[in-house]
Structure 1
Amino acid sequence: MGKMPLIDGNIDLRFTQNEITGAIGDSVTVLPLVVAVAILTDLSLTMMLLWFGIFQIVWGLYYGVPISVEPMKALAALILAGTITTEEFLLAGLLLGGILIVMGKTGTLARVGEYIGNPVVRGIQLGVGLVLLETGLQLSAGDVQLAVIAAGVAVGIIALGYWNLTAIIVLLFGGIVAGYQVGFSMPTSPDFSGLFLVSGASLNFSTLEATAIQLAMTVGNAALAASVLLYDYFDRNISADDLSHSMGVMNLTAIPFGALPMCHGSGGIAGKYAFGARTAGANIFLGIGYVLVALLGAGLVAAYPLAMLGVILVLIAAQLGKTSIQKAQNYPLVIGIGAIGVLINLGAAFVLGTLAYLIFQRYKRV
C-alpha cells in the first residue's frame, strides 16, 4: 500500500546533486511562462515567484515527495493571447480555488473526470499549445533578427539532445541579451506590486469560460494524472481529491496577494523524477531558488526582448502539443478540439469537445 501525505518529522529529505537537477526539471517550463506573464501583464515577477517558492516548500514537506507547483497553463495562454484581462485571469483562479476545494472535500473530482475524458483534456492541451504558438509567432515578428538568433540557440540545444532544457536555456540567453542592452549592474529593488488586482474584477462570461477551460486541464492533468504518477514514481498514495484540495487552498490563499493561478501538474512531477529527484529535498532547493530569483532577478524583466520571449512561447507550445498527441486516446477528437481552440476559441473547444466525447461514449455502449 502507498504512503499517505504526512507531516510527522519522518519525511525523507536528501540534499544531493540529484535533488538539485530534479528541481531544474520542474522549473524548465515554469520560469519561462511566469516571466512571459510578468512581461505582458500587470503582475509582478517578484510576487509570483515568491509564492511559487513558498508553495514548493510547503507542499514538498506536507506530501513528503517531489510534488510540482506550476502555472495553470490554459489561463496563462488566455491572458498572454489577450483573450482575458488580468482581473479576469485572477478571478478565474479564485473561482477554481473554490471549486477545487469543494470537489476535494466532497470526493467528486473522479466523477467529474468521467464527463471530461482524456480526449477532451488532451484536446484542450493541444488548443492551449496552438494559442501559445500563435502568440509566440506574433511576438517573434517584432524583431526577426533576435528571434532567429534565439531559434538558432534552441536548435543547437535540441541537436545536442537536451530538448527538455531548451526553453530555460533560451530564457537565460535572453536575460544575457537584456543585461547587455541595459547594462549589468547591481540587482534593483524587488517589485512588490501586483497586490489585490483581483479586487477590480467583475464576474462575466469571459471569466466563467476561462474557468471551465482550465478546469478541464486541472481535473485531468493536475489531479488525476498527477495522483497516478506520485504512486508510480514514489509509492505515495495521494488521491486526486487531496491534490484538488491543496490546489484550492493554494490559490485562495495567494492570488489576492500577487500570485498567478497555480496547480500540481503531472508534467512537473515527471520532470523532477526524470532529472533525478527522489525526495522533497528537490522542492526545498527549488523553493529557495525561486525566492532568490524573485528578489535578485526581477530587474531584467522590463528589458527582456519580446521577440526572444516569443521563441520561448513557441518552444512551450511545441512541448504541450507533443505531450497532448503522445498521450491521446482518440486522435481525431483531440486534433479537432485543438483546431477549434485556435480557430474559434478554447471555450467553444471545451463545450463542443465535451459534447462530442459524451456522444461518442454513449455510441460505444450501444
Structure 2
Amino acid sequence: MVARTFREISARNLKVIREHPLSEISGALGDLGTFLPIAIALTVNGTISLSSTLIFTGAFNVLTGLFFGLPLPVQPMKAIAAVALVSSFSHGEIAAAGLFVASCILIFCLTGFLRWFADVIPIPVVKGIQVGAGISLIIAACQSLIAKLGWVRPSWADNLSWTIAAFLFLLVANIYRRIPYALVVFMVGLLFAIILAAQSSNLPSLRLWMPFLTIPAGTDWRIGAIRAGIGQLPLTTLNSVIAVVHLAADLLPQVHTPSVTSIGLSVAAMNLTGCWFGAMPVCHGSGGLAAQYRFGARSGASVIFLGILKLAIGLFFGESLVGLLTRFPSALLGVMVIAAGIELAGVGESLNTSGSRDLAKGHPGIIGGQEIGPLLSDEDRKKRWTVMMVTAGLLVGFRNDAIGFIGGMLCHWTFGLPSFLERLRERRRQGRIRLPGPA
C-alpha cells in the first residue's frame, strides 16, 4: 500500500513538472519572502549556521515533496526566531527550543492527542487562524520590510519605486495566472543583489560545509524551552499542523491530504534531526503553503526542486552567501509576502459555502438539481462568520495564535450555550436528569 502510494505521488510529481515547469519553479520560490529574512537575521546574529540550515531544510524539502506530493513549505518557527533575535540566543539555546517543541509534538502524535485536538476544533476557528495568519503576514511585510524604505533609499535597487512596480506586476499576475511571478521577481532581486555585492567585493565564494554538533547544556534547556519553546508550541500545533492540513484540502482537493498525525510526525522528525547541527528550527506553515500555491506550485515537484537547490548551495557556499542575501531587495521580498498573506486570508471566503469541510460532510441541500452543501440560515452564517473574525482579530491584535484560538472557542461555545441549556431542560422533563432536593 505504501509503495503504491509512493509510486502514485512520484508519478503525479513528474506529470505536473513536465506540464508546468515554470509554474512549479516559480511556486518553489514563493516562500522565500519569509524564509530569507529570518534565516539571514539569525545567521548574522550568530544563532544558527546558514550552511546547516540550507542543507537540512533542503533535505526536508525533498523528503516532503516525495512523501506528501504537496508543495508543503519548510518554514522557520517564527515565535522561536523572534525571541532568539531579541535575546541573542546561542546555538545551544535555539537548539534546545526546537528540540523541546519537536519532542512535545512527537508525544502529541504518539498519544493520539493531536488527532483528537484537530477533530474537536470547529472549522470557523481553524479558518480564523488561517485568516489571522494571512493578515499578520501582510502587516509584518509592511512594517518590517517596506516601512523602512524611501523613494530613493537605501539604494537604487531597493526603494518604494520597486515596491510599487512589484505590486503592479502582482496585480497583472492576478489576472494572468500563468505568469511565473515569483520566478521573475526573484531573478530580478537576485540580479540586483549580485550587482550590489560585486560593488562592495562581497560575492559568495566556494566554502564547503563543515558539520558540527550542537549539544544544549543545562541552562540552554531552561532558557530555550521556557522563553521560546513554550510560546512556539501553540503556534506550531494550530498553524503549522492543523491549519496546514485544512488549507491543503481547501487548495488542492484533488490531491490526497496527509493526516494531522503525519504532518506532526514530519515536524518532529525535522527538528529532532537538524537542530543538533545548528540548523534553524522549522515547521510546515500554512502561510508558506499559501505562498507557494499562489505563485504556481501544485505538486511536490516544486519543493523537491527548491530542496535540491538549497542542498547544492549549502554544501558548496554556505556562510559566504550572507553578504549576498542581505542585499536582496526588501522591496521585492515585501510584496511577495503580501501576496502570500492575501492568498492565505482568502480561504475565509469559503466558510459558509459547500467548500467548507464541515458543511461538505453534511446532507447536501438541493437547488436546481445541484448539490450546494447544507443550507444555512442567515443567523447561522452570521454566527460562523463572527467566530472566524473573533479568532482572526484577536490573533492579529495580540500577535498570538493561542489567544486567538481561545477567544474563537469561547465565542463558539457561547453561541452553542442556548441549545445546550435547552437539551438539559428537555432531559430534565424526560426525567433523565434529577436535581438534588430536600430529603
Which TM class, normalised by the smaller chain length? 0.7 to 0.9
The structure having more radius of gyration, on CA atoms, is: 2
Find the aligned partners of 1:194 and 1:174 in 2 and give their Cα distance. Answer: 33
Match of 2:200, as an amino acid?
V
Residue 104 of structure 1, aligned match among 96, 101, 109: 109
Structure 1 unaligned runs (5+)?
342-348
Find the aligned partners of 2:292 and 2:340 in 1 and give their Cα distance. Answer: 17
Question: Is 2:415 the counterpart of 1:364?
Answer: yes
Find the aligned partners of 2:216 and 2:336 in 1 and give their Cα distance. Answer: 27
Find the aligned partners of 1:360 and 1:84 in 2 and give their Cα distance. Answer: 38
Q: Superposition RMSD on alpha carbons, in Å?
A: 3.9
Query: Structure 2 vs 1, CA of residues 353 and 27 (structure 1 numbering), >3 Å: closer, same or farther?
Result: same
CA shift for structure 1 position 256? 0.8
Find the aligned partners of 1:72 and 1:88 in 2 and give their Cα distance. Answer: 14
Contact 1:121-1:220 at 8 Å conserved across structures: no
Residue 275 of structure 2, aligned match among 255, 260, 285: 255
Residue 24 of structure 2, aligned match among 9, 22, 44: 22
Mean Cα displacement is larger for which, 39-48 or 146-155?
Answer: 146-155
Structure ranking higher on relative contact order (CA contacts 8 Å, 6+ apart):
1
Aligned residue-pair number: 355
Find the aligned partners of 2:227 and 2:234 in 1 and give their Cα distance. Answer: 11
Match of 2:167, as an amino acid?
I
Which residue of 1 is the match for residue 245 of structure 2?
227
CA shift for structure 1 position 243? 0.7
Contact 2:238-2:401 at 8 Å conserved across structures: no
Question: Is 2:160 the counterpart of 1:151?
Answer: yes
Mean Cα displacement is larger for which, 223-232 or 47-56?
Answer: 223-232
CA shift for structure 1 position 313? 6.6
Mean Cα displacement is larger for which, 94-103 or 322-331?
Answer: 322-331
Query: What TM-score, normalized to structure 1?
Result: 0.77
Contact 1:35-1:301 at 8 Å conserved across structures: no
Match of 2:238, as an amino acid?
G
Match of 2:76, as an amino acid?
P
Find the aligned partners of 1:32 and 1:78 in 2 and give their Cα distance. Answer: 17
Find the aligned partners of 1:300 and 1:193 in 2 and give their Cα distance. Answer: 15
Query: Structure 2 vs 1, CA of residues 237 and 333 (structure 1 numbering), >3 Å: closer, same or farther?
Result: closer
Q: How does 1:23-102 map to 2 (within 5 A)?
A: 23-30=25-32, 31-33=35-37, 34-80=39-85, 82-83=86-87, 85-86=89-90, 87-102=92-107
Which residue of 1 is the match for residue 207 of structure 2?
189
Find the aligned partners of 1:209 and 1:132 in 2 and give their Cα distance. Answer: 25
Which residue of 1 is the match for residue 311 of structure 2?
291
Which string of whole-angstrom CA distances, capped at 9 and with x for unpartnered residues, describes residues 279-301 of structure 1?
43333322211112224554554
Question: Is 2:336 the counterpart of 1:331?
Answer: no
Query: Structure 2 vs 1, CA of residues 50 and 223 (structure 1 numbering), >3 Å: closer, same or farther?
Result: same
Find the aligned partners of 2:338 and 2:295 in 1 and give their Cα distance. Answer: 20
Which string of whole-angstrom CA distances, capped at 9 and with x for unpartnered residues, describes residues 198-251 of structure 1?
457523477435334433333333222332344434421421111101111111
Which residue of 2 is the match for residue 344 of structure 1?
none
Contact 2:24-2:301 at 8 Å conserved across structures: no
Residue 217 of structure 1, aligned match among 226, 235, 253: 235
Find the aligned partners of 1:21 and 1:311 in 2 and give their Cα distance. Answer: 22
Which string of whole-angstrom CA distances, capped at 9 and with x for unpartnered residues, describes residues 174-203 of structure 1?
522442233376723145467417457523
Which contiguous aligned blocks of 4+ residues in structure 1 show a shift greater than 6 angstroms? 3-7
Match of 2:389, as an amino acid?
Y
Mean Cα displacement is larger for which, 233-242 or 145-154?
Answer: 145-154
Which residue of 2 is the match for residue 340 of structure 1?
398
Which string of whole-angstrom CA distances, capped at 9 and with x for unpartnered residues, describes residues 255-310 of structure 1?
11122112223344444445554543333322211112224554554424858665
Which residue of 2 is the match for residue 245 of structure 1?
265
Query: What TM-score, normalized to structure 2?
Result: 0.66
Mean Cα displacement is larger for which, 61-70 or 283-292?
Answer: 61-70
Query: Structure 2 vs 1, CA of residues 175 and 150 (structure 1 numbering), >3 Å: closer, same or farther?
Result: same
Query: Structure 2 vs 1, CA of residues 271 and 29 (structure 1 numbering), >3 Å: closer, same or farther?
Result: closer
Contact 2:149-2:159 at 8 Å conserved across structures: no
Find the aligned partners of 1:151 and 1:52 in 2 and give their Cα distance. Answer: 32
Identical aligned pairs, as a percentage?
Answer: 20
CA shift for structure 1 position 94? 1.1
Contact 1:91-1:201 at 8 Å conserved across structures: no
Find the aligned partners of 1:321 and 1:299 in 2 and give their Cα distance. Answer: 30
Contact 1:124-1:217 at 8 Å conserved across structures: no
Contact 2:202-2:324 at 8 Å conserved across structures: no
Find the aligned partners of 1:213 and 1:167 in 2 and give their Cα distance. Answer: 34
Find the aligned partners of 1:321 and 1:64 in 2 and give their Cα distance. Answer: 23
SS at match of 1:149: coil
Contact 1:50-1:294 at 8 Å conserved across structures: yes
SS at match of 1:236: coil
Find the aligned partners of 1:273 and 1:242 in 2 and give their Cα distance. Answer: 21
SS at match of 2:279: coil
Which string of whole-angstrom CA distances, capped at 9 and with x for unpartnered residues, describes residues 15-65 of structure 1?
526245324313332352333433344322221111111112222222344
Find the aligned partners of 2:196 and 2:248 in 1 and give their Cα distance. Answer: 38
SS at match of 1:145: coil
Structure 2 unaligned runs (5+)?
175-180, 349-384, 418-439
Mean Cα displacement is larger for which, 6-15 or 61-70?
Answer: 6-15
Find the aligned partners of 1:286 and 1:16 in 2 and give their Cα distance. Answer: 16
SS at match of 2:62: helix
